Amino acid sequence: MQYDDISITLTDERRTVQYVPGPEEIVGFGAKRSDHMFLMDFDGDWEKGHSGTWDNPRIVDYHKALISTTGIGDPASILHPGSKVFHYGYSIFEGAKAFLHQDNELYTFRLHKNAERFNCSARIMNMPSIPEEYFVSAVNSLLDIDRLHFPKGAVGASLYIRPFMFGSSDKLGVGPGDKFTFGVFLSPSGPYYDNGFNPISLLYQTIFHRATPGGVGGAKAAGNYAGASRPGTLAKMLGASQCLFVDAIKNKLCEEVGTSALGIVKSPQLLMPKETDTILGSITAGSARKVVNKYDLSSVGISYARREEIDIDGLISDIQDGSVSEVIGLGTAAVISPVKSLYVLKENALDEKLLARMQEGRIHIHELLGQRDPEEFYDEIIIGDGKTGPFTQMLFDIYTGIQNGTVEDRLGFMKKVERNI
């Protein structure tokens, strides 16, 4: 299927005026929607024969896309109460962005890498893959139609792109089923964090783990994010932004941050954890490595980037003696986040009985701390001077400059969204 082959059905008129947020309007991240979305259906003999076809590509009204006007359960709906996604967790997604350049055209950032990772997630979750050209065409066709929804002039502006797939077979019983739905919608967005590009703190703890070897940690699957919600909530209860996860076997090897990959600045190198099947392959981290190796960042002490095992005890020691000067989070939504400190959960700080009840699901995570002061539970280790470091600032400026079209794109990251509609 080529771009011209996508059949476009519009239920409402397209926006005719560019979206320009008002001076007091907070665009934020993820809450707003453009008018339309892309949908495509898979049907066949997937569960037994791993065969079938993708069909009926279309662009429809976002607000009427998945549920018919008469409500969920109607035969015209895609979603049914018995859909596999609700009961067995067959759901994967991606996150990408489009940017408006000075020529008033939209450009995507390494969209083919999102298509590649989406298919990796599909295979891990035993769901059908999508030809990459279908994926890219779907996104570009939707961007073309809803290009005027870009929040022009907003701080950190982008059109956030959310491709997703879910099991839509209306059938109970463990197994993927035979029907799937692929969709894409857009979210006019600003910065991921409310405080924008400002330093955050990470919580290091060994109570929770994001994934285990041989599992599905390498997939961008919905359940992985729901499963990381409790540790993320604990981090926020203690005043941190995210958890820094370590491996589930040794409790020693740094893996990733809740919504981001991890970067360690140890001159003359930028270090990132080795990829395993418990770590989601990060497009932002891979892109940052390419930037470091292509652009001159020697003025801030970094000459190259590489992956290696990062031991948490060694990391803490290197932060304390100053050999690690900066730590960063890297992800599509937040882009590059400077980390000012680690909150290290104190040994035996939590009430053992409450902890056991929480782990058994007998109390909620927010009941774990009781009425005690959050600062009683952790020791804070300041990274560098606790401010955004020079390397983090330069990497952010180059990276976002490439995305916004103000820095030369020496790596061919950006692709123009053609005007075909």
Q: Give the pLDDT score at 421.
A: 64
| pLDDT tens, residue by residue, 217-259 | 999 999 999 999 999 999 999 999 999 999 999 999 999 998 7
CB atoms within 10 A of CB 101: 14
Q: Enter the pTM of the model.
A: 0.93
Calculate what percentage of the chain has a pLDDT beyond 70.
94
CB 115 within 8 A of CB 96: no
Q: Pick the residue with more confidence: 61 or 204?
A: 204
Q: Give the pLDDT score at 118.
A: 98
CB 396 within 8 A of CB 335: yes
- What does the DSSP assignment read for 266-286? ETTEEEEEPP-TTSPPPHHHH
Helix 283-294 and helix 111-124: axis angle, to 10°?
140
| pLDDT tens, residue by residue, 39-52 | 999 999 999 889 99
The span from the CA of 285 to the CA of 113, in Å, is: 12
Which residues of the chain are in CATH 3.20.10.10 domains? 200-404
Q: What is the third-level CATH fold of 200-404?
A: D-amino Acid Aminotransferase; Chain A, domain 2 (3.20.10)
Q: Give the pLDDT score at 3.
A: 37
Helix (H) or strand (E) holding 202: strand 200-204
The dihedral sign for the CA sequence 139, 141, 144, 146: negative
Calculate what percentage of the chain has a pLDDT beyond 90.
83
| pLDDT tens, residue by residue, 184-197 | 999 999 998 877 78
| pLDDT tens, residue by residue, 311-359 | 999 999 999 999 999 999 999 988 999 999 999 999 989 999 999 999 9
Average pLDDT, the chain: 92
Q: Give the pLDDT score at 5.
A: 53
Is 3-189 in CATH node 1.20.1260.10?
no
Highest mean pLDDT among 12-16, 20-24, 402-406: 402-406
List alpha helices for 125-213, DSSP H. 132-145
Which residues of the chain are in CATH 3.30.470.10 domains? 3-189
Q: Assign 1 a pLDDT band (cuts: 50, 70, 90).
A: very low
- Whether 15 has a pLDDT exceeding 80, the answer reads yes
- 253 secondary structure, DSSP code: B
| pLDDT tens, residue by residue, 367-389 | 999 889 999 999 999 999 999 99
> What integer is the mean pLDDT of 264-286?
95
Q: Both ends of the chain: CA-CA distance in Å? A: 17
Q: Assign 4 a pLDDT band (cuts: 50, 70, 90).
A: very low
Give percent helix, percent strand, percent coil of the chain, each to the nearest 5. 30, 25, 45
Q: Give the pLDDT score at 232.
A: 95
- What does the DSSP assignment read for 301-341? T--EEEEE--BHHHHHHHHHHTS--EEEEEETTTEEEEEEE
CB 242 within 8 A of CB 202: yes
For 3, half-sphere exposure in the C-beta direction (CA atoms, 13 angstrom radius) is 14
CB 154 within 8 A of CB 99: no
